[in-house]
A and B are shown apart, each in its own frame.
Chain A
Amino acid sequence: MTKDEKYSIAKWAMEHAVKNGAQQARVSIYNNNSSQIEVRDEKIDKLQESNRNGMRINLYVDNKYSSISTNRITNREELGKFIEEAIAGTRYLAEDEFRTLPDPERYYKGGGPDLKTVDPNFNSVDPQQKVEDAFDMEKEVLGSDERIISVSTSYRDGLSGSVMMASNGFEGDSENTYYSLNASVSVTDGEARPQGAWYESSIFSDQLVRKDIGKKALKRALDRLGQEKIASGKMPMIVENKMAGRALQPLISALNGYSIQQKQSFLIGMIGEQIGSGLMTVTDDPFIVSGRGSRLFDSEGMATEKRAVVENGILKTYFIDTYYGKKLEMESTTGNTTNLVFKPGEKDLEGLLADIDRGILVTGFNGGNNNGATGDFSYGIEGFLVEKGKLIKPVAEMNITGNFKLLWKDLIAVGNDVDPSRSWRLPSLVFDNVDFSGI
């Protein structure tokens, strides 16, 4: 479906809703086209193609609110009836004065920079090249070590586009592409069969890192052979950059308007307060050229802004959408994060480890959860025992347990190894005094 076709359907649906009793309506239409090639045993294991279309409509009827979504969007008779029935059904709900579209003043009105989130060559990538990319990762490792029992590799790409229109004057569209390569390798020493994985991703095909993915996956699997748990105790924890999101995510979730208004946040009333150590500075930056989270407007159409989230450990903002802003009687910021950038430190991972007398490098999480209202957490981990800056042995089947209010204050070092291929640009992080449970 072309962009013009999407606009035309969106406009029709929006007008149909307003004509049939909705005072306000917002319509978005999206499509995702993706392909996936999985390789195993020198054969294509799975070939998948996906072309998905969909529509979502938010309806505001007599101070009442509902939403509908469907992938049957081309038949106007059917769609029109769906909208009419939804409007009729909405009238049975209770009034909710806080449900409205955003203030039009806040809308993105065009003229923003080109964020370069689309590969212009997406449709001309040679399918044979995609297959070869997947096979090349396998070739790197197949037969290179007798402990290998299984190698799976995959190529994926995707193009997604959407248009959005709101009846109080918003119109906008966006488009994104991605490519990713993934390898996972299982090895055995006779008993356990640990798996190691590595992946690379990019917005542009010609910038996708294709080398050493298989080799890195194999190394990560072999490194895990002989893993065991060690004695419980309080130790420093080094979290590898690719896993640092697990430590940050509950905090970001606690900053969400919904969590605050519904009293499911451990950060209620903490703006301007110290929530982390002085090493913690996080910025939400929507305007990074070719950033994976870059966007000019948020999911409600509001123009995005660069925002300090945490500065030297002091909390600066919440993520509040229009609805929860009204309920909380606070100014809405935005309900969405874009590129969350953690201010990097001076040292790489090796440098961080060199300062550790005895601690655990966490390279993977295994289950666990947190209590949003209190900040309590407990997660399974795997990684390596570190002594005097050196990796001593792989550890697994252990838990970390604590509270996020204290954990972030115990942040004692930040790496310089930010991964720019993700929307959350996080370095490796070192926390002191973490409770590990093992034997």
Chain B
Amino acid sequence: MILDRRNFIKTGGAAVAGTMVLPPLLKSCQNIQISPDVKSYLDHFEVTPEMLQKVIAEAMSKGGNYADLFFEHTISNSLGLEDGKVNSAHSNVDYGVGIRVLKGDQTGFAYTESTNLQDMLKVAKTAANIANDPVTFKQSDLIEKTIPNYYKVSQKWENATIEEKIPFVQKVNDRLYELDDKVTKARVFQRDESSYVMFYSSEGLLTYDYRPMATLGVVCVMEKDGQIENDYSARSMRQGFEFMNDNVVEELAQEAVKKTNFLFGAGKPKAGELPVVLGAGGSGILLHEAMGHPFEADFNRKGESIFSDKMGKKIAKDFINIVEDGTMENNRGAINIDDEGNDVKKVYLVKDGVLESYLHDRISANYYGVDPTGNGRRQSFRHAPLPRMRITYMENGPHTTDDIISSVDYGVYVDNFTNGQVKIGAGDFTFFVKSGTLIENGKLTQPIKDINIIGNGPQALADITMAAGDYKTATGTWTCGKGGQSVPVGMGLPSVLVKKLTVGGTSA
């Protein structure tokens, strides 16, 4: 895709939007053959191939054995509705280049918020300091890499005006009040982001990506007989303005009202170890915390993960297949290429119950002598890549949801979550259940709310005794934090039974 310069500066007073006033076209690539696509990115960042090569040479000037440059320009806009009106807006512009130098598994990293040659050379020199060895670097020929497109956009956010966005935000609020007269407060937010990234490495690899993100969400507050409850529903996709439509508005309003209503009269289960049925979809948080993080290869390389010596071993029932994928169309966790220029693949972490792969970045893939898995991600140009998840899910199993629920004497069914966490070494993971339902004698009975569930990763994985055929991909705004970096992720799960987890509740 070619960047249209006019799109970049065209907002015409109609949008609170970040724009850049660009200088006259630079004369780039006099003697290096590059495509118009790449040229538009080079021009956008006001650099030439010759400049990239100079900066890489400086980065390698202390004997590093690899270096890369990560250029980023991100424009985000958000709208907020509070007390019935769309009455706040925010726009942000972020721009810069991160320079990373590797010496074995050691990293030097620095960034600059300007792409001026002198500024880039200065930070390249800082990052170069990780090495102190004879220089062996020879400039590589430039290899342009074309990438697939997992997030096709029909209406770019840069062309959408604030005037066009406002009615959708307003309508979420209005539908909420129409649907239920217990609604006393609503807060709606809409956010869109357009991120342009360009990557160049000491191996000569030059590539780029355009990464859109769209989010719409609502917090719903209801009052009934003096009791106040609130819940939240949101959608987030890598899409353009086409994301905003009447269907998503209606879906969100219905869901928020339904979820909040559910909380009135909800209680707490008996505290202790209980069978837990995880409903299809957002319950993927179980995989994310209990397995995804401990499978990240940096923890394993350092011997810190509870799964560090489990490669090739049977860790779950035969019917369990856990996948890590970055190619799911328009998913929040999808990426066309990872932040180290590697192809994004679908990777089986667990196949037929056997641990098959960790999630790798460049450093860990080299350490283990395996191909990169496309999991090297970073929050922005200010951060060095780490092994991170993209979309983590479990494939369908052989059971039915009814079989699963009817097999439980006393336990909980959970399908609405807010957050989770894991201690990598001990393997203890948690997730917070906003709402669920008690299971008594094989039947769903009372609503429950606001309980934390805690388990141990390897034990919980071994304890998944049933999995249904009702797989669903979660659609919420999941963001994963690690090492001070946040990245958007996706998840999914069919309904499963975990034989026992420790459920928060009240003591008898």
- Are the chains A and B members of one assembly? yes
Interface residues of A (CB under 8 A from B): 40, 43-53, 64-72, 75, 77-78, 81-82, 84-86, 88-90, 92-96, 99, 149-150, 152, 186, 188, 192-195, 224, 227, 229, 232-234, 262-264, 327, 366-374, 376-380, 382, 396-401, 435-439
Query: Would you give the 0/1 interface string for B184-215, flagging 1 where the beta carbon is closer than 8 Å to chain A?
Result: 11010000000000000000000000000000
When distances are taken between beta carbons in the complex, the residues of chain B under 8 Å from A89 are 11, 13-17, 89, 91, 162
6 new A-B contacts at CB < 8 Å, known A195-B423, A399-B430: A69-B91, A150-B302, A264-B221, A366-B428, A397-B456, A399-B503
Q: How far is the CA of A64 from the CA of B272 in the complex (A)?
A: 52
Q: Is the CB of A70 within 8 A of B14?
A: no
A-B pairs with beta carbons under 8 A, tally:
286
Q: Is the CB of B452 within 8 A of A380?
A: yes
Any chain A CB within 8 A of the CB of B350?
no
When distances are taken between beta carbons in the complex, the residues of chain A under 8 Å from B376 are none
Q: How far is the CA of A438 from the CA of B455 in the complex (A)?
A: 10
Any chain A CB within 8 A of the CB of B419?
yes
Q: How far is the CA of A64 from the CA of B166 in the complex (A)?
A: 14
In chain B between 478 and 507, which residues have their CB closer than 8 angstroms to a CB of chain A?
A: 502-507
Interface residues of B (CB under 8 A from A): 11, 13-21, 82-83, 85-96, 105-113, 123, 126-127, 129-130, 162-163, 166, 184-185, 187, 219, 221, 223, 227-230, 268, 271-273, 289, 302-306, 308, 382, 384, 418-432, 449-456, 502-507
Contact with B106, one of A45, A85, A379 (Cβ below 8 angstroms): A45
Q: Is the CB of B271 within 8 A of A186?
A: no
Given contacts A86-B16, A398-B502, whether A66 and B384 have CB atoms under 8 Å apart is no
When distances are taken between beta carbons in the complex, the residues of chain B under 8 Å from A194 are 423, 425-426
Q: Is the CB of B431 within 8 A of A367?
A: yes
When distances are taken between beta carbons in the complex, the residues of chain A under 8 Å from B16 are 66, 68, 85-86, 89-90
Query: Can you list 17 A-B pairs, Cβ within 8 angstroms, ordered by A?
Result: A52-B382, A65-B88, A66-B16, A69-B90, A70-B92, A72-B20, A82-B18, A85-B15, A96-B88, A195-B424, A263-B185, A366-B421, A366-B430, A379-B504, A382-B428, A436-B271, A439-B502
Q: Which residue of B lies closest to A64 (CB)?
A: B87
Q: Is the CB of A78 within 8 A of B185?
A: no
User: Which 3 pairs, one residue from A and one from B, show the smallest C-beta to C-beta distance?
Assistant: A367-B430, A89-B16, A437-B271
Cβ of B158 to closest chain A Cβ, rounded Å: 12
Q: How far is the CA of A399 from the CA of B502 in the complex (A)?
A: 7
When distances are taken between beta carbons in the complex, the residues of chain A under 8 Å from B302 are 40, 150, 152, 186
When distances are taken between beta carbons in the complex, the residues of chain A under 8 Å from B89 are 65-67, 89-90, 93
When distances are taken between beta carbons in the complex, the residues of chain B under 8 Å from A77 are 21
Q: Is the CB of B162 within 8 A of A399?
A: no
Cβ of B78 to closest chain A Cβ, rounded Å: 10
Q: Which residue of B lies closest to A368 (CB)?
A: B452
Q: Is the CB of A193 within 8 A of B271?
A: no
Q: How far is the CA of A69 from the CA of B77 in the complex (A)?
A: 10
Q: Is the CB of A263 within 8 A of B221?
A: yes
Q: Is the CB of A71 within 8 A of B424?
A: no
Cβ of A278 to closest chain B Cβ, rounded Å: 26
Q: How far is the CA of A398 from the CA of B21 in the complex (A)?
A: 56
When distances are taken between beta carbons in the complex, the residues of chain B under 8 Å from A96 are 85, 87-88
Q: Which residue of B lies closest to A225 (CB)?
A: B426
When distances are taken between beta carbons in the complex, the residues of chain B under 8 Å from A94 are 85-87
Q: Is the CB of B130 within 8 A of A397?
A: no
Q: Which residue of A lies closest to B15 (CB)?
A: A89
Q: Is the CB of A186 within 8 A of B19?
A: no
Q: Is the CB of B91 within 8 A of A48?
A: no
Given contacts A96-B87, A264-B221, A366-B421, whether A68 and B426 have CB atoms under 8 Å apart is no
Cβ of A147 to closest chain B Cβ, rounded Å: 12
When distances are taken between beta carbons in the complex, the residues of chain A under 8 Å from B90 are 66-69
Q: Is the CB of A439 within 8 A of B273?
A: yes
Given contacts A49-B110, A380-B454, whether A71 and B91 have CB atoms under 8 Å apart is no
Q: Is the CB of A70 within 8 A of B303?
A: no
Contact with B88, one of A66, A70, A72 (Cβ below 8 angstroms): A66
Cβ of A405 to closest chain B Cβ, rounded Å: 13
Q: How far is the CA of A63 from the CA of B229 in the complex (A)?
A: 32
Q: Is the CB of B21 within 8 A of A78?
A: yes
Given contacts A150-B303, A438-B272, whether A44 and B130 have CB atoms under 8 Å apart is yes
Q: Is the interface of A mostly helix, strand, loop or mixed?
A: strand
Q: Which residue of B lies closest to A49 (CB)?
A: B110
Contact with B305, one of A49, A193, A262 (Cβ below 8 angstroms): A193
When distances are taken between beta carbons in the complex, the residues of chain B under 8 Å from A40 are 302
Q: Is the CB of A193 within 8 A of B19?
A: no
Q: Is the CB of B228 within 8 A of A263?
A: yes
Q: Which of B16, B163, B429 has the most CB of A within 10 A?
A: B16
Contact with A65, one of B87, B273, B451, B504 (Cβ below 8 angstroms): B87
Q: Is the CB of B87 within 8 A of A95?
A: yes
Q: How far is the CA of A302 from the CA of B337 in the complex (A)?
A: 47
Contact with B185, one of A50, A72, A262, A396 (Cβ below 8 angstroms): A262
Q: Is the CB of A69 within 8 A of B92?
A: yes
Q: How far is the CA of A195 from the CA of B453 in the complex (A)?
A: 21
Cβ of A220 to closest chain B Cβ, rounded Å: 12
When distances are taken between beta carbons in the complex, the residues of chain B under 8 Å from A88 are 13-14
Q: Which residue of A lies closest to B163 (CB)?
A: A92
When distances are taken between beta carbons in the complex, the residues of chain B under 8 Å from A66 are 16, 88-91
Q: Is the CB of B430 within 8 A of A380?
A: yes
Q: Which residue of B lies closest to A375 (CB)?
A: B450
Cβ of A172 to closest chain B Cβ, rounded Å: 23
Q: Is the CB of B85 within 8 A of A193?
A: no
When distances are taken between beta carbons in the complex, the residues of chain A under 8 Å from B424 are 193, 195
Given contacts A71-B96, A370-B450, A378-B504, whether A195 and B425 have CB atoms under 8 Å apart is yes
When distances are taken between beta carbons in the complex, the residues of chain A under 8 Å from B423 are 194-195, 366, 382
Q: How far is the CA of A287 from the CA of B208 in the complex (A)?
A: 50
Q: How far is the CA of A159 from the CA of B289 in the complex (A)?
A: 34
Contact with A192, one of B83, B228, B425 (Cβ below 8 angstroms): B425
Q: Is the CB of A49 within 8 A of B304?
A: no
Cβ of B412 to closest chain A Cβ, rounded Å: 12
Cβ of B222 to closest chain A Cβ, rounded Å: 9
Q: Is the CB of B304 within 8 A of A195?
A: yes
Q: How far is the CA of A44 from the CA of B368 in the complex (A)?
A: 20
When distances are taken between beta carbons in the complex, the residues of chain A under 8 Å from B303 are 149-150, 186, 188, 193
Contact with A367, one of B14, B382, B421 (Cβ below 8 angstroms): B421
Q: How far is the CA of A51 from the CA of B431 in the complex (A)?
A: 36
Q: Is the CB of A435 within 8 A of B109?
A: no
Q: How far is the CA of A281 from the CA of B86 in the complex (A)?
A: 40
Q: How far is the CA of A99 from the CA of B88 in the complex (A)?
A: 10
Q: Is the CB of A45 within 8 A of B105?
A: yes
Q: Is the CB of A262 within 8 A of B432?
A: no
Q: How far is the CA of A72 from the CA of B306 in the complex (A)?
A: 44
Q: How far is the CA of A81 from the CA of B19 in the complex (A)?
A: 8
When distances are taken between beta carbons in the complex, the residues of chain B under 8 Å from A327 are 83
Q: Is the CB of B113 within 8 A of A52?
A: yes
Q: Is the CB of B91 within 8 A of A68?
A: yes
Q: How far is the CA of A69 from the CA of B428 in the complex (A)?
A: 39
Given contacts A50-B382, A378-B452, whether A85 and B11 have CB atoms under 8 Å apart is yes
Q: Which residue of B lies closest to A70 (CB)?
A: B93
Q: How far is the CA of A149 from the CA of B424 in the complex (A)?
A: 14
